[in-house]
Amino acid sequence: DGGITQSPKYLFRKEGQNVTLSCEQNLNHDAMYWYRQDPGQGLRLIYYSQIVNDFQKGDIAEGYSVSREKKESFPLTVTSAQKNPTAFYLCASSNRDSLNTIYFGEGSWLTVV
């Protein structure tokens, strides 16, 4: 089945550590995104990528990094520079053919311990 797969579902990070969240899609979508959601809040854009080997900062990119070496994959690294990383992270993808409708993965919960 086509879809977007995020892993892990739950992740605990010690202070000072970098962690990487995986996102893979088999929808053949050109564009991929990372959003962050805090409790009771809307989604805020971290990074997005419209094509392979290219990505753009969103509204809250500081403390995060991404890569887009393959069309199917868009991993997000939460670095130690991100001072408040505890949140729900959502990966998404879209395509012009689908009117740019964004489809989301199941999300990853990151907690700092």
Partner 1 sequence: GQNIDQPTEMTATEGAIVQINCTYQTSGFNGLFWYQQHAGEAPTFLSYNVLDGLEEKGRFSSFLSRSKGYSYLLLKELQMKDSASYLCAVNSNSGYALNFGKGTSLLVTP
**Contacting residues toward partner 1, per CB under 8 A:** 31, 33, 35, 40-45, 48, 50, 56, 58, 88, 90, 94, 96, 99-107
Q: How far is the CB of 27 from partner 1 (least distance, A)?
A: 13
Q: How far is the CB of 46 from partner 1 (least distance, A)?
A: 10
Cβ 25 to partner 1 shortest distance, Å: 13
Give 28 or 101: the residue with its C-beta nearer to partner 1: 101
The residue type found at 109 is W
DSSP codes of every residue in 41-62: --EEEEEEEEETTEEEE-TT-T
- What is the identity of the amino acid at 1? D
Q: Environment class of residue 45 by beta-carbon count within 10 Å: exposed (0-12), middle (13-18) or buried (19+)?
A: middle
